[in-house]
Amino acid sequence: MNAILTQEIVFNEEEVLQGLQQYEKEIEFRIQDVIYYPYYFFEFQVSAKSLLKFRGKAACTVDGLGGRGAMVDIQPVFYQRQIAPEQAPPLIINEKEAAGIAEKFVFENASTKAKFVTMPKISEIHRTLFYRPFWLAEFEMADNSPGHLIVDAVSGSYHPL
């Protein structure tokens, strides 16, 4: 077993199955497993001059497999959990790479979205590796071929695989 920081599961297995059945009444869905997808969370202090002096915080996540950044409105709450090693894919992006991606991502976001007179100054406040839970669901399509979905256990959004 591995100890990880994770977000709490909001949509349990039963709720996910009920939700999927509401959309596709003719298809029987099955949950295969829950997996934990790695992300890095970064929080930065951002300061710059605009018409007024700006000083605030910005946060983002960096995908631990693909290195994609995403802005975050609120800091996620993390919980300690024990998982089996096969429930989480191995990291591809290391912490140092993720830090560089995050800083560049937040800088570009601040520079393009805000109207600063000077270049924004960004300094890292905090970083955390965490894992977000996803349900893996399978189903049989009309032509009897197998179909697969991944369902975000925090937001409830789903995507075909």
DSSP characters over 124-136:
EEEEEEEEEEEEE
Average the pLDDT over 74-83 and give the result: 94
**Locate tokens 């710059």: which residue?**
48
pLDDT attached to residue 46 = 86
* pLDDT at residue 122 greater than cutoff 60: yes
Count of domains forming the chain: 1
Is 8 contained in some domain?
yes
CB atoms within 10 A of CB 143: 6
Q: Provide the pLDDT for residue 69.
A: 97
Nearest C-alpha neighbor of 61 from the set 114, 102, 120: 102
Q: Which tokens sit at 23?
A: 């959309």
- Residue 47's pLDDT is 81
- pLDDT band (50, 70, 90) for residue 116: low
Q: Is residue 151 part of a domain?
A: no
CA 66, 69, 70, 72 torsion-angle sign: positive
31: pLDDT strictly greater than 60: yes
- Please, which pLDDT band fits residue 53 given cuts at 50, 70 and 90? low
pLDDT tier for residue 52 given thresholds of 50, 70 and 90: low
Q: How confident is residue 115, by pLDDT bands cut at 50, 70 and 90?
A: low
- Residue 112's pLDDT is 74
pTM confidence score: 0.87
Q: What is the mean pLDDT of the chain?
A: 90
Residue 148 included in any domain: no
Domain presence at residue 69: yes
| Per-residue model confidence (pLDDT) at position 25 | 83
pLDDT of residue 143: 80
Residue 78: inside a domain: yes
The residue type found at 4 is I
* Residue 154 counted as domain residue: no
Q: How far apart are CA 16 and CA 3, in angstroms?
A: 25
Q: What pLDDT score does 114 carry?
A: 62
Residue 161 lies in a domain: no
The domain of 130 spans 2-142
Q: What is the mean pLDDT of residues 24-49?
A: 91
Give the mean model confidence (pLDDT) for residues 53-73.
90
Report yes or no on 158 lying in a domain: no
pLDDT of amino acid 63: 97
